[in-house]
Amino acid sequence: MVVKSIVGLAFVFASVLSLACGSAAPAVEVTAAPEGAAIEISELVGQMRDMAWAEEVDAAQALIEQQRPHHDASSPAWLVAASWLGRGASFAERWEVAERYAREAYDGSLALLDERELDADSQLPTALGAGVEVLGRVQDARGDRAGAVAFLDAQRERYRGSSIETRIQKNLLLLSLEGQPFPVLDVEHHLGAPLPSADSLKGKVVVAFFWAHWCGDCKQQQPILEQLHEHYGERGLAILGPTQLYGYVSRGQDATPEQELAYLRGAYQERYPIPSWMSVPVSQQNFLNFGVSTTPTLVIIDRDGVVQLYNPGNLPYAELSAHVERLLAT
């Protein structure tokens, strides 16, 4: 079986959209400081982030090294800046640069964990999570996928129960889920119709659409799924829509699980009706198991229950329908 690899799609999604429209990513406007002068660490982090998405690796590296003497290179904020440079270099496949700054973020984070809890700091999880992510990608890019999978698996176990567990799992699955049997979904609660039985899904192509009620990109994806259902629903396509509770409802208002479920079953569906053809299991465990730190995440499963595509991020109709058409024809 030939499995399409899409490692890194989630990381370059914005660039792909830009190229699809026939334009290159815009150059980042860097706020110039007098030669040798310091800039605020928050500004440095912002510039590193913007240059990462624009893949301006050389300019970012020059800036961070010019700023290094002015800042505490062991602080969480500095490590976040370094982690963004690592990510940007990985987007551009500049693996030596990516490894250097991801390693700085990773090792620096581990040193700080000797004296504090990971999630007690708002910036440390960002730095460490990105360090793990990029180091795994570097190892895979150098031809050692088995080693990258082992590294990410060990990191997920090490940080199980923390805020970065789901992020690590996403990166692990980007390397390992395709070609594997689709794991059983957990159903703590459900919206709409009950989850179909495993027997009823046998022989069908399944699209699993992981979404969140606050997610604008998810609302843009749903009409595309409607088109898929209209064209392929009677030919053997099933669409599932797993979601989870987030502890709040509209406008970020805090909510108990009972209140959030009531909102999803009532006020939310008055504005954004959940289609009758999409069963919606509600469980945090599904999001952990499938590494859903990006919404939407789309998973396509063939007639034999084997995952053929794992995609954190949106997909256009043309690409989704091509996958479905191919799998329905086999």
In which band, very low, low, confident or very high, does the pLDDT at 323 lie, cut at 50, 70 and 90? very high
Q: What is the tens place of the pLDDT at every residue in 152-168?
A: 999 999 999 999 999 99
Q: What is the tens place of the pLDDT at every residue in 3-43?
A: 333 344 343 333 333 333 333 444 555 555 566 689 999 99
pLDDT of residue 17: 33
Q: What is the tens place of the pLDDT at every residue in 30-77?
A: 555 566 689 999 999 999 999 999 999 999 999 999 999 999 999 999
List, in sequence order, the alpha helices (H) in the chain. Answer: 13-20, 41-53, 57-67, 76-91, 95-112, 124-141, 145-158, 165-176, 198-201, 216-232, 257-265, 267-271, 284-289, 317-328
In which band, very low, low, confident or very high, does the pLDDT at 283 lie, cut at 50, 70 and 90? very high
pLDDT of residue 299: 97
End-to-end CA distance of the chain: give it in Å, rounded.
12
Q: Is the pTM of this model over 0.75?
A: yes
Q: What is the tens place of the pLDDT at every residue in 198-255?
A: 889 999 999 999 999 999 999 999 999 999 999 999 999 999 999 999 999 999 999 9
The closest of 125, 51, 145, 138 to 293, measured between CA atoms, is 125
| Beta-bridge mates of residue 310 | 299
- For domain 9-176, which CATH number applies: 2.40.30.10, 3.90.79.10, 1.10.3470.10, 1.25.40.10? 1.25.40.10
Q: What is the tens place of the pLDDT at every residue in 125-136?
A: 999 999 999 999
- Tokens found for residue 108: 């620096």
Give percent of the chain above pLDDT 90. Answer: 85
Q: How far from the centroid of its chain's Cα atoms is residue 179's Cα?
A: 19
CA 262 – CA 249 distance, rounded (Å): 10
pLDDT of residue 31: 52
pLDDT of residue 2: 34
Rounded to an integer, the average pLDDT of 271-297 is 95
Sheet holding 237-240, edge to edge: 189-191, 278-282, 237-240, 205-210, 297-301, 307-312
Give percent of the chain above pLDDT 70. Answer: 89
pLDDT of residue 193: 87
Q: Where are the domains of the chain?
A: 9-176, 189-328
Superfamily of domain 189-328: Glutaredoxin (3.40.30.10)
Rounded to an integer, the average pLDDT of 173-181 is 96
225 touches 209 (CB < 8 A): yes
Rounded to an integer, the average pLDDT of 180-191 is 92
Buried b (16+ CB within 10 A) or exposed e, 35-49: eeeebebeebbebbb
CA distances from 199 to 12, 21, 55, 112, 114 (A): 37, 42, 47, 50, 50
150 against 31, higher pLDDT: 150
214 touches 263 (CB < 8 A): no
CA distances from 83 to 45, 46, 222, 294 (A): 9, 12, 33, 18
CA 102 – CA 84 distance, rounded (Å): 8
| The Cα angle at residue 274 between residues 200 and 316, in degrees rounded to 5 | 85
Residue 99 has pLDDT above 50, yes or no: yes
